[in-house]
Amino acid sequence: MNQIPVLIRVFAFLSLLTVGGGMAAFPEMKVLTVDVHKWLTFPQLIHLYSVGQLAPGPNMMMIVPIGEWAGGFLGAVSTLFAFFGPTAVLAFIVARLWKRLEKWPWRRSIEQGLAPVSIGLLLAGCFTMAKGAVTGLETATIAVGVLLILLQYKVNPALLVVGGGILGILSFLPK
């Protein structure tokens, strides 16, 4: 079956949910890509998201392999445009209206009101992911360790993700 129209619909929809960051859309992404359309499994989704943190640029490029698996090269390209197109157009319109919006009294209300909701969505996405990613003492230690190190020192987060991978190999590789 041709998955491309479905891919476009799903990722254009997810795109509009990424208020505050890509993670905000994660719970819905899990439902749609894993449970509804079965393009990949939940562990695969977690793996792609996490490895995606090691790539430079916008941190949701993990959608490319999802599109590629579901619909080949064309699937990857459609997914990319569906996921980044709608918000790009919206940002462009806002950029154009910006001078006028500056005087609009509700602008600050929207900024201040959406801040806690977007942080909440980020945290909700984090919990959804943690259900699959933090499964025992070792993984919990890695997650908390990364948090504490970042709170304490100025380290490039990508290095800590690599460090997590090395710890993973040391603790989970069957002897």
Partner 1 sequence: MSVGQIFREFLMIGATSFGGVVPYLRDNLVTKRQWVDDKEFVEMLSISQSLPGLNATNMAILVGEKLRGALGSVAAILGIGLPGAVIMAIVGIFYRQHGDHPWATAGLKGVAAAAVGLILFTVVQLSKKSLATRFDFVFMALTVIAVNRLHQSVPRTLIGVGIMAVLFHHPRRAEKGGPRL
Query: Restricting to residues 45-74, which ones interact with partner 1 according to CB under 8 A?
Result: 46-62, 64-66, 68-69
Kindly state the tokens that stand for 122. 């980020």
Instruction: Name the DSSP class of 31.
Output: I
Find out whether 85 and 12 touch, Cβ atoms under 8 Å: yes
If one counts every other C-beta atom within 10 angstroms of the C-beta of residue 173, the result is: 7
Question: Considering only residues 3, 18, 33, 78, which one is a binding residue for partner 1 as defined by CB under 8 A?
Answer: 18
- The token pair at 100 is 């006028």
Of 10 and 64, nearer to partner 1 (C-beta) is: 64
Say how many residues touch partner 1, by CB under 8 A: 108
Work out which of 4, 8, 12, 76 binds partner 1, going by CB under 8 A. Answer: 76
Phi, psi torsion values for 11, nearest 5 degrees: -80, -25
Find the shortest distance in angstroms from Cβ 66 to partner 1. Answer: 8
Q: How far is the CB of 5 from partner 1 (least distance, A)?
A: 20
CB-wise, 5 or 107, nearer to partner 1? 107
CA distances in angstroms from 110 to 46, 105, 106, 165, listed in the order given: 31, 9, 6, 39
Distance, CA of 57 to CA of 33 (rounded, Å): 23
169 binds partner 1 (CB under 8 A): yes
- The helix-helix angle for 106-133 and 42-52 (nearest 10°) equals 120
Residue 160 phi, psi (nearest 5): -70, -35
Q: Is 36 in the site for partner 1 (CB under 8 A)?
A: no
**Min dist. Cβ of residue 80 to partner 1 (A):** 6
Residues 142-161 that bind partner 1 (CB under 8 A): 142-147, 150-151, 156-161
Q: Which of residues 80-119 bind partner 1 (CB under 8 A)?
A: 80, 84, 86-88, 90-92, 94-96, 98, 105-106, 108-119
